[in-house]
Amino acid sequence: MNTAEIDFNPAYLQAISKDQAWHYRIIPRYSSESVVTLFCDQESDSSALTEELEIVFGKKVELEILSSASLNTLLNKHYLKESGQHQFGKSSLAMEGDGFLNELIREARNLKSSDIHIEIYEEKCRVRIRIDGMMVERYVLKKSEYPALINKIKIMANLDIAEKRLPQDGRINFKNGEEQFDIRVSVLPTLHGEKVVLRLLNNNAANIDLEHVGFSVFDRENYMQGIRRPNGIILISGPTGSGKTTTLYATLKYLNKETRNILTIEDPIEYTLQGINQVQLKESIGLTFASALRTFLRQDPDVIMVGEIRDPETANMAIRAALTGHLVLSTVHTNSAWGTVSRLMDMGIPSFLVANTLNTSVAQRLLRLLCNNCKMEMEFDPASYPKQFKPFAPVKHHFVARGCEKCYHTGYSGRKAVYEVIPLDHELTQEIKHGNMYINTLLEARGIKTLAENAFALFAAGETTIEEIYPLLFTN
């Protein structure tokens, strides 16, 4: 039997605890009021196991035999023995009350999840977590238990539990043993109730370093040249979840010296850095990016970090700050490094001001890396490329994701950023002033690698898959 083709229902999986699953070596496949169907180990005494499990469940038990290897794979995938004492697969909400939420947050943290999604629909409620950029469903909850869970989150985040018609945003300071971290809470009213997203923020910036975020040697030299300049704007572009904030914090950590006054306006403050004056955005009381920037200019800054340039007012204030001799770091949503130029112009910034202030433009994406323990080499079919894509180098063999215990059977382990870094020189600034957006020849002459080229290099080196880099190949 090919267990990979079976779609396991989380509601059945959480009917037993992790301890029960490993003790009896069973996996629930189906459950009703009168019968439960379970996979069991071929080494088990099926008749004796059936009798004992019927006493445990209080209903008829049907067993389907699996090989020991297949069962081990399923147990490690669905009951995550590696994560220590924290348990997935246990419906503990009704039994333990508040403990469910705490266990859920701890488990998500241990799995290096970035977000927890708690959602309600007409027929069911579910909990999903995002690991390495991908959503994974972990729980199905009873609709009767859902309001209590939402209220618990609201209370912890100091939100109004009586307000169920409007979106709300809050923050939770969570302690997990000796570790302490913040959680950004977003509550959204939907058709069937309130959806909650918990963003787990990493307050520890100790491991953030420009040497290890993913720059190639050439791109890092170009980027370092930009941040060493005393003024101008450095913009990092990319979609949500592409690692822009991490790159910004690594930059701030490098620039953080006693001789510099560094100010930031952020939404949210994801890392706390000693020696940097960090301000939390509060639009409800008028503390916006633009208003904070206006005040920053009276605070004698050397370096200013703006979480995002999202409107013309903020863009104009950032330009003003750069013109008056400050180094400004920020992010913007565009598809490429050169696309930030047209984005600023679309916000109403004249081309000559963009040319005079834009220091360095960066685009980045995050790609999942293959698990080194289980990746498998295969012959590569060039038909896997997008149509009309011209590969940068011939690839005869590539690696595909398989899945094992170490990567929770995802086939991937960790992520790496790929960059496109354009340092603005005199010739490029002249192109901006003349409104020329087609500068590929100039970039090639400078040896600047595009996102597609850097992503392809990771694929050709066997670090990631064609599926991961596929969306970036269209930017070639």
176-185, 193-202, 309-318: least confidently modelled range: 176-185
pLDDT one-digit tens code per residue, 102-160: 989 988 888 888 899 999 999 889 999 998 888 888 888 888 889 999 999 999 999 99
User: Encoding tokens for residue 39?
Assistant: 């996979």
Residue-by-residue DSSP string for 393-416: S--SEEEE----GGGTTSSEEEEE
Residue 329 and residue 416 in one domain: yes
Residue 326 and residue 390 in one domain: yes
Rounded mean pLDDT, 238-266: 92
Please state whether beta strands 262-266 and 232-237 pair in parallel, antiparallel, or not at all (unpaired). Answer: unpaired
Segments forming the whole domain that contains residue 347: 205-472
pLDDT one-digit tens code per residue, 189-208: 999 999 999 999 877 666 78
DSSP-derived letter for residue 2 is -
Residue 170 and residue 240 in one domain: no
pLDDT one-digit tens code per residue, 19-64: 888 888 898 888 888 888 988 988 888 888 888 888 888 888 999 8
Give the pLDDT score at 381: 92
Give me the CATH number covering residue 73. Answer: 3.30.300.160
Residue with the bigger pLDDT between 97 and 454: it is 454
Residue 54 and residue 103 in one domain: no
Residue 59 and residue 104 in one domain: no
The pLDDT of residue 221 is above 80: yes
- Of the residues 134, 167, 201, which one is the last residue of a structural domain? 201
Under 8 Å between Cβ of 361 and 340: yes
Tell me, yes or no, whether 90 lies in a domain: no
Residue 74 and residue 133 in one domain: no
Residue 410 and residue 280 in one domain: yes
The pLDDT of residue 470 is above 70: yes
Residue-by-residue DSSP string for 292-355: HHHHHTTS--SEEEES---SHHHHHHHHHHHHTT-EEEEEE--SSSTHHHHHHHHTT--HHHHH
Give the pLDDT score at 409: 76
Residue 164 and residue 221 in one domain: no
Residue 34 and residue 118 in one domain: no
DSSP-derived letter for residue 386 is P
Tell me, yes or no, whether 376 lies in a domain: yes
Residue 172 and residue 317 in one domain: no
Percent of the chain exceeding pLDDT 90 equals 54
Give the pLDDT score at 81: 55
Tell me, yes or no, whether 157 lies in a domain: yes
Give the pLDDT score at 4: 64
Residue 50 and residue 115 in one domain: no
Under 8 Å between Cβ of 299 and 276: no
Give the pLDDT score at 89: 40
How many domains does one find in the chain?
A: 3
Give me the CATH number covering residue 330. Answer: 3.40.50.300
Tell me, yes or no, whether 244 lies in a domain: yes
Give the pLDDT score at 70: 82
Residue 361 and residue 403 in one domain: yes
Give the pLDDT score at 83: 40
CA distances from 342 to 331, 357, 361, 371 (A): 14, 14, 12, 39
